[in-house]
Amino acid sequence: MFYSTVRSWQHKAVRALVAVALLPFLFSGQDQTTALEKTYQRGSLTLLTRNGASSYFIGPDGETGPEYDIVASFADYLGVAIEVEIAEEFNDLGTMLEKGQGDLVAANLTRTPARERRFRFGPDYAEARTVVVYKRGKTRPRQLADLVGKRVAVIAGSSYEDLLLKAQKDLPDLQWTSERSTGMESLLLAIADNELDATLVDSNIFRINSQFYPGLKIGFTLADDQRQAWAFLPGDDDSLVQKARSFFKLVSENGSLAKIQDRYRENDNNLDRVGMFQFMKQVRSRLPDLLPMFQEVAQAHGLDWRLLAAMGYQESHWDPEAASVTGVRGIMMLTQRTAAQLGVTDRLDPEQSIEGGARYFKQMRKRLPSRIPEPDRSWMALAAYNMGMGHLRDARKLTEKQGGNPDRWQDVNERLPLLSQEKYYRETRYGYARGYEARQYVENIRRYFDALIWMETRAHPMLIVQN
């Protein structure tokens, strides 16, 4: 893999110096070490969370997720590193906190009276509504009474179960299953597979996950807005909570909190519902037979199989016999000329096509200046794979001419559409190019790549990796 989740040694060194410099001030005259002081002593802040699209997961650039990104910013604010501990079950989070396995819980945790008695909450940073989700095409539930006699399941110990318990007083026939070791994504998948009729979920969690379940829809909304916050240990020591209050005041005022939250909301629609529906369909029907090939070829060439598979889906939807009017064929849609250069004798042979595509991608990546770091290097190589290295060089030169960084993908990506405008491409070496297509090509692959990572790293039931 070409991604690293390890922070640079320079960053760690700076944090260590900050911690050392603060020690004399932190501990002088103190008989008992506070939670904040312990954090500085360790040089790290430990986040307790769940693996999921709305909290924490491993993305193409490393650790990420809405909750993780906010806590990582808090750790930077403190001048310490961030560590992560994942709970197998939602109910385990509180126990892990009480056992001292982490400093705080951040997992889309809603304030409830029971939790207020158990934890000390930090400042509210998000609001959500509880929604009832069902499958499109089924009879829409419009109230809790419509769930009577239906197959309903919720996360055990969640605020959703609390709502159903209250409703059961007026609806004694209302029944549901409490799932302890099942994640929200598995419940949503069960609805998509007609194994369940409905579940309850926070609106923001569903918004983030809905792109992976395009067949699901909100039936109705329950209760008022519910506030979400981090949970800390209760007691007299509120040193870490006070720091959290200062942090949230700062990031709310400077807009950085909104930027983190918007980042994930904006990603929800990068692929339209039909596009993601088709992708998930092919993950089940076509990918299983090709998966060993993607894994073996990727391992042989030092690539990430999920990126290689994402490329294959973008090119052909994993159809070994795919062909276009321009003459490109096979899973990786190689031209006859490129196939000949790569020694591919049969473009319709899946293994040859995947292996050829991997080598061609590596060639593109190798031809880029060595100073370009990952992942920018790979995103540029993908653009070159699509439109040619010459056009990518033109885009990089245009980027530099306009004051951007030609070694930074974000800067080059912004200029790609200019290659189709005469006022710009007339001054380039290679002329007109459909740069907007290359831009969309890379963006789509990154989204498919994200989806495969999201499923594999969390043992998602839709994707069983064969080893």
Q: Which residues are catalytic?
A: 315
Answer for the pair 207, 265: CB distance below 8 angstroms, yes or no: yes
d(CA 34, CA 41): 10
The DSSP 8-state label assigned to residue 352 in this structure reads H
Sign of the torsion formed by the C-alpha atoms of 298, 303, 307 and 311: negative
Cα distance between residue 332 and residue 352, in whole Å: 10
Name the maximum alpha-carbon separation found in the chain: 79
Q: Which two tokens stand for residue 435?
A: 């740069």
In the block, tokens 């126990």 appear at 95
- Residues 32 and 14: beta-carbon distance below 8 Å: no
The values of phi and psi at residue 55, to 5°, are -135, -65
Given a contact cutoff of 8 angstroms between Cβ atoms, the answer to whether 132 and 222 are in contact is: yes
Calpha distance 79→437 (Å, rounded): 42
> What amino acid occupies position 163?
L
CA distances to 129, 326, 416, 422 from 419, in Å:
45, 21, 6, 8
User: Using CA atoms, how far apart are residues 464 and 467, in angstroms rounded to an integer?
Assistant: 10
Cα atoms in the 13 Å half-sphere on the side-chain side of 142: 1
Taking each helix axis from N to C end, the angle separating 305-316 and 376-387, rounded to the nearest 10 degrees, works out to: 30
CA dihedral 37, 43, 48, 51 (to 10 degrees): 160
Q: CA angle at residue 424 from 419 to 429, to 5 degrees?
A: 75
- Share in percent of the chain as helix, strand, coil (round to 5): 50, 15, 35
CA 341, 342, 345: angle at the middle one, nearest 5? 95
List the one residue out of 214, 182, 220, 180 whose CA is nearest residue 200: 220
